[in-house]
Amino acid sequence: MADGIYKDFLTYKGRPLVRNGNLMYYGSLADKYVVFMMIHDSREVDGKEVSGKIQIELQYTDPTVKDRVVKTSTKTGLYAALDLASVWLDMAK
């Protein structure tokens, strides 16, 4: 990954993290794989919204692949979901 290419994006462990409502993508669409996450619920803790159950999918970025989902899991909390997503992307290289 070129330095500074994701300077306008929030990153986690050097990969971009893009969120729109309850949907998130982690990783680069220029790579072979990306992780899709869907937040199913959240709660308020000390006046801040905290994610609860999150569905995680490792997906191929190639739009010609018929079944793009490679792995799925569900985690509680954003940190646990991002940690697993990072491991999946590291292993999928």
Q: Which domain holds residue 58?
A: 10-91
Structural domain total, the chain = 1
Instruction: Flag whether 68 is in a domain.
Output: yes
What are the CA-CA distances from residue 57 to residues 1, 8, 26, 27, 71 (Å)? 22, 24, 10, 12, 6
Residue 2, pLDDT score: 47
Instruction: Flag whether 40 is in a domain.
Output: yes
Instruction: Flag whether 1 is in a domain.
Output: no
Instruction: Flag whether 14 is in a domain.
Output: yes
- Give the pLDDT of the chain (93 residues) as one tens digit per residue: 445 555 678 999 999 999 999 999 999 999 999 999 999 998 888 998 888 899 999 999 999 999 999 999 999 999 999 999 999 999 997
What's this model's pTM, rounded to 2 decimal places?
0.85
Residue 4, pLDDT score: 57
Residue 49, pLDDT score: 82
Instruction: Flag whether 21 is in a domain.
Output: yes
Distance CA 51, CA 75 (A): 10
Distance CA 69, CA 37 (A): 12
